[in-house]
Amino acid sequence: MTASPSTILIVDDSPENLAVLNELLQPSFRVLAATSGDKALRVAAGAARPDLILLDVMMPGLDGYQVFERLRADPATREIPVIFITALDGHEEELLGLELGAADYITKPIVPAVVLARVGTQLELKRARDWLKDQNTLLEAEVARRMAENDLTQRVSIRALAHLAETRDPETGNHILRTQSYVNRLAQALRAHPRFSAALTERYIDLLTRSAPLHDIGKVGIPDHVLLKPGKLSPDEWKIMKTHARIGADAIERAEQDIEQPLDFLSAAKEIAHWHHEKWDGSGYPDGLAGDAIPVSARLMALADVFDALISARVYKPAFSYEKARGIIAEGRGAHFDPDVCDAFLDGFEDFVAIAERYGDPA
């Protein structure tokens, strides 16, 4: 298949000059003509977009330099190469045109062989640039596709692991959806807070949200007689139950060791799994961390997990009302929970109720 000829726009207020250039170029190219700067701008932005513009400098009205500046200011014509043609043969004028960004500079009277050679060179360069641009577009599309595929694989893998934990945990899959949404809502509420703004970037909030489902992954390592016990746990059983935080963190850490470079979402998931049962006053487990020593991710999950446990029915307790759960959370401010995290929950309480309703457990 033969390629269509390149389109060249000639801009000159002299009909004689237009005729000379047209006669020279038309055998090999599609030629458009304009006798003024205003008309040249309309033609250049039209449907028959030129591949190259030969632009006279000295014209009434808009001169060549002004036309060039407007071409460069318009995204539709910015990439079209321009060769200035002028009767001025001083180096200063040529330097000015090249500094403005012109592709080349030809002086009158024109030499046909020179014009054809320079036109051919600029068109070859444009074809190369266009090819590279197309390749970059294809490459960017492929990178975007692979990133989307990797993102989906990551999310599916997280959910698969979380569902694996569900097979042994009496809590439902909706618990994961609710706590994930609670964590996101808390993070969004605190992202502008002076204590949290440095940590809670948009990217980190996304990491927390996608990692939250793995907070109880360690429960797969808890024996059934403890995990599924319908009544209150004995002191020894409770000691076993509390090991799920470290079991989960250790499992994620082993996964990290199997890869060549660390993944941020695994680091966030490990923090959440390890320390979401720590308390602000240092009375939590497994490490008795207190205050800001507890990672932000774990502080958010601590409140999200407790709120959902309070409003959910368990074999050992009925579901509490939203208001009762709210009161218990408020009482834990500064003891169980980071005060500012607690305030964010209380201020947005209606949103948390809405999340609980949206992902409610089946009757």
Whether residue 78 sits in one domain with residue 193: no
Decide if 203 is inside a domain: yes
Asked if residue 125 and residue 252 are part of one domain, the reply reads no
Q: How many domains does the chain have?
A: 2
Residues 125, 202 within the same domain: no
The reported pLDDT for the residue numbered 171 is: 58
Q: What is the mean pLDDT of residues 202-216?
A: 91
CA 18 vs CA 23, 61, 112, 252, 325: distances in Å: 8, 18, 13, 74, 84
Average pLDDT rounded to a whole number, residues 210-220? 89
Mean pLDDT of the region 253-267 = 79
Residues 131 and 176 in one domain: no
Q: 183 and 315: one domain?
A: yes
Task: Give the sign of the dihedral formed by CA 325, CA 328, CA 330, CA 334.
Answer: negative
Could you tell me if 345 and 160 are in contact, meaning their C-beta atoms sit under 8 angstroms apart? no
% residues pLDDT > 90 (the chain):
56
Say whether the peptide bond before residue 109 is cis (omega within 30 degrees of 0). yes
pLDDT tens digits for range 325-351: 999 999 999 999 999 999 999 999 999
Task: Count CA atoms closer than 13 A to 50's CA, side-chain side.
Answer: 29
| Residue 67, pLDDT above cutoff 80 | yes
What integer pLDDT is reported at residue 229 of this predicted model?
86
Q: What is d(CA 59, CA 111) in angstroms, rounded to the nearest whole number?
A: 21
The answer on pLDDT for 2 being more than 80 is no
Question: Which of 36-50, 236-250, 335-349 is most confident?
Answer: 335-349
Give mean pLDDT, residues 89-116.
79
Q: Are residues 194 and 302 in the same domain?
A: yes
Q: Confirm if 175 and 305 have CB atoms less than 8 A apart.
A: no
Same domain, 330 and 210: yes
Residue 12 belongs to a domain with what CATH number?
Answer: 3.40.50.2300
Q: Distance between CA 104 and CA 94 in Å, rounded?
A: 9
The strand pairing partners of 55, in sequence order, are 11, 84
Between strands 30-34 and 52-56, the pairing is: unpaired
CATH code of the domain containing 323: 1.10.3210.10
Place 71 in a pLDDT band, splitting at 50, 70 and 90.
Answer: very high
Which of the residue ranges 67-76, 102-111, 241-250, 271-280 would you say has the lowest mean pLDDT? 102-111
Is residue 156 in some structural domain?
no
Cα angle at 124 between 123 and 128, to 5 degrees? 115
Cβ atoms within 10 Å of 114's Cβ, excluding its own: 11
Q: What is the pLDDT at residue 88?
A: 67
Distance of alpha carbon 240 from the chain centroid = 41
The total number of residues written for the chain in this structure: 363
pLDDT confidence of residue 160: 65
107 and 205 share one domain: no
Give me 142's structure tokens. 């492929």
Residue 99's pLDDT is: 76
Mean pLDDT of the chain: 88
Task: Verify cis geometry, omega within 30 degrees of 0, for the bond prior to 223.
Answer: no
Least reliable range by pLDDT among 166-175, 226-235, 291-300 = 166-175
Q: Do 74 and 181 sit in the same domain of this protein?
A: no
Reported as a pLDDT band with limits 50, 70 and 90, residue 157 is: low
Q: Rounded CA gap, 46 and 229, in Å?
A: 76
pLDDT at 146 over 70: yes
Residue 172, pLDDT > 60, answer: no
Query: Percent of the chain, pLDDT > 70?
Result: 90
Residues 250 and 113 in one domain: no
Alpha-carbon torsion angle 299, 303, 305, 307, nearest 10: 180
Indicate the SS3 state at residue 161. Answer: helix
- The CA-to-CA distance between both ends of the chain, in Å, stands at 67
pLDDT band at 200 (very low <50, low <70, confident <90, very high): very high
In the prediction, which pLDDT does 352 show?
A: 97
| 206, 318: one domain | yes
Q: What is the pLDDT of residue 228?
A: 82
Domain that holds residue 106: 7-139
C-alpha of 16 from chain center: 56
What is the average per-residue pLDDT within 147-170?
67
